[in-house]
Structure 1
């Protein structure tokens, strides 16, 4: 956009710089081993926006460069002394030399692309990455029902939601050796909750996810990231719905047990001597209530 609409939109709906940096922290365990393997290596961030990820990359010792088409966003980066360039992300990526980048990242970019451009991004990223280099693609998670049906379309520049299995297959198909889906930004409290409500099932699945794909490399380079690739991340719809089903079943079982208990108490009362002895009194009481009601 040529005006400041999108910058204002991002400032309203994306969150402060500190909030965004906190959301990016889970990527550091993937990045740091690679930064140690390639100290001072270039790292390219496509659609860099306000530059939060560029700042984080710089702290690892890598040499980040951000590309974005929005000049207003780039001005915010320049104020912070970040190295950025205006241009088309796919074209810029295609002009880079082979094996030149430690990282190629695209945060909330792929949902803006056509599927052909998404495939080009993956193919070109594989070409320009160093051995063991990482492609990171973060996008809204359509496994979250609220995201898929409403929140995704809040951004007027979005094309379509991309299911995690599709995005991971794109990276696999284009030759990445190791591909990991990580789900992100779920509520820490909900992640530990054994009794989610229906609202939690509809809205609580990790609202974002990323595919992290690693280029083929020797054993030493790959070993440095084995641990983080082997972990599981985030909150899935299957997990939340299973917890909800189990919680509902337990509530039903508890209610049935209470009804059974009450039935037993009523049966015991009806068959008790006191109930039998007081039967005439109850008969008189019922008759009196009837007579009073007629008066």
Structure 2
């Protein structure tokens, strides 16, 4: 409509004219019809120490548009940097606290299903849940499991009790929660397994979240020193009950007696 006006002059003196980059499109239109305005040489830009007419000059306006483009790219680059930094931070935190996140999610999922976990020992279905490396299955299933079962303990472990088709993390948490003790059979094979590190963190998280310190038992084999234990164990070694696997058969009877007494402790 303004472009069609021929015999009219418009005066805008006294009105606030914003000459910032947010209004560059409006200023570009104003530049096209600047001859219709009679006082642009007297009208000052709100945030610049120059008149609107001075800004609309070819060289001045070209420089103004260039600066606006630079500011736009700078703002866009900064926004992308913030988003990228946030994404990297989130990925780092999720990776670092994956077990804690899984624990919360699995616990909430169980509560939604109506399963309420209890820290009371008499409510536990098993005396102990044994966790071990796959390469140690033979000794766990034929020696450790059989000996403890003969002593009257209800023992569970993954290869015997995990339900096929369900997630290993969900099954792990269920058996940890439904066992009075969690026994880790630590060998060289155990230290070499990545999944075992996940199980250690889950057991530690569960024990402290449910106020069940002293519920973790570590059986150490192969003369492994404490300094080579998983770091999550070393951080809370004061609350862990440890016992070493005997090097000779003569000491086996004493070992079973000590382990039985530990499993009976609340």
Q: Shorter-chain TM-score category?
A: 0.3 to 0.5
Which protein is richer in strand relative to its size?
1
The TM-score normalised by the length of structure 1 is 0.31
